[in-house]
Amino acid sequence: MFNKKNLKKFIASCISIATIAIPMSITANASTYSRLIDNDPTSSSGNSSSSNGFSYINGGSCYNGDARIILSGNSSNFYHWIHPKISLGGVKTVTVNLQVYLNHANFTDPRASYSVYKNGASLTVGYINQNTAAGGWNYKYASSNDFTGLWLVSVSPSGQPNCQTGADAVNVTYTY
């Protein structure tokens, strides 16, 4: 049964969602840093990578034709995408816009976990079902108020059996 309280709440929610507001965290003094990092980046790109156990694969549908992959059964495994360090000169609030490129049929992990390193601890940005993710770029967002530096993006497997976790390209944008 729909009552007056719920009706008012519904109308209020319709009004609130019918608007666009200026993004609240971007100010005149905000800085942004964007970096696209493919798996196995060349040294000339200024990027690098690190992992434990991810194997190299070729695939025409992958970003630049290749990627890395691992059985999803061990959630302690990792793949790190590394870019040149950005020192924030103190503790700052950072918003992370992470785009993840996924386009291989063998990427089947239903809960691949993505995080960024705040330079002291990591921040979970989000989970992606790599099996059902649309081919191409997938978006995740997060923010935290205790970043001191920016340099690393990570993916870890879910731990699920019968699945494989892929690592291809990421495009990360920090706003601080």
Partner 1 sequence: MKRKIKSILSVGAALCFIISCTACQTVDSGANISEDSVENININESAIDDSVIDEEIVPDEAPLNITKDQLYYRCMNSMEYLSHVSGDVKVRYGGKDRNVYQGTVNLDFVNGKYFTDASTFDIDNLENCIYNVVTYNNSNICHSIIDNIIDGSKRHETMKEGLCPTLEITTFANACPINPDDKSSIEAARAKGKTVITSIDQLSEEQINATYGGDPTGDHVLGAFYIPQEMSMGYLKNFDMWDITDYKDFQGRSCAVVQGKAEPEYGSRFNVETFEILVDQATGVWMQFEGYDADGNVMQYVYSENVCFDDDTVDVPTYKDEYAEGYEELDMNAVDQANIDETIRKMNAEAEKE
Site for partner 1 in 117-136 (CB under 8 A): 117-118, 121-129, 131-135
How many contiguous H segments (helices) and E segments (strands) does the chain have?
Answer: 1, 10
The whole-angstrom separation of Cα 112 and Cα 122 is 15
Single out the residue of 31, 50, 64, 87 in contact with partner 1 (rule: CB under 8 A). 50
**Closest distance to partner 1 from the beta carbon of 33 (Å):** 15
Q: Applying CB under 8 A, does 47 fall inside the site for partner 1?
A: no
State which of residues 62, 150, 163, 167 lies at the interface with partner 1 (CB under 8 A): 163
Closest separation between CB of residue 86 and partner 1, Å?
Answer: 16
Please pick, from the candidates 37, 82, 94, 167, the single residue that binds partner 1 as defined by CB under 8 A.
Answer: 82
Q: Are 99 and 139 in contact (CB under 8 A)?
A: yes
* Burial zone of 28 (CB within 10 Å; 0-12 exposed, 13-18 middle, 19+ buried): exposed
Q: State in angstroms the smallest separation of the CB of 42 from partner 1.
A: 14
Instruction: Among 75, 92, 148, 149, indicate the residue that binds partner 1 (CB under 8 A).
Output: 75
Report the alpha-carbon angle 156-83-102, nearest 5: 45
Q: Is 151 left (phi over 0), alpha (psi -120 to 50) or beta?
A: alpha
Binder among 47, 165, 171, 175 for partner 1 (CB under 8 A): 175
Q: Between residues 31 and 52, which has the closer beta carbon with respect to partner 1? A: 52
Under 8 Å between Cβ of 85 and 151 = yes
Which of residues 80, 166, 170, 174 is near partner 1 by CB under 8 A?
80
Q: Based on CB atoms, which residue is closest to partner 1, 39 or 108?
A: 108
Judged by DSSP in three states, 108 sits in coil
Q: Which of residues 17-36 bind partner 1 (CB under 8 A)?
A: 17-26
**Residue 156 β-bridge partners:** 113
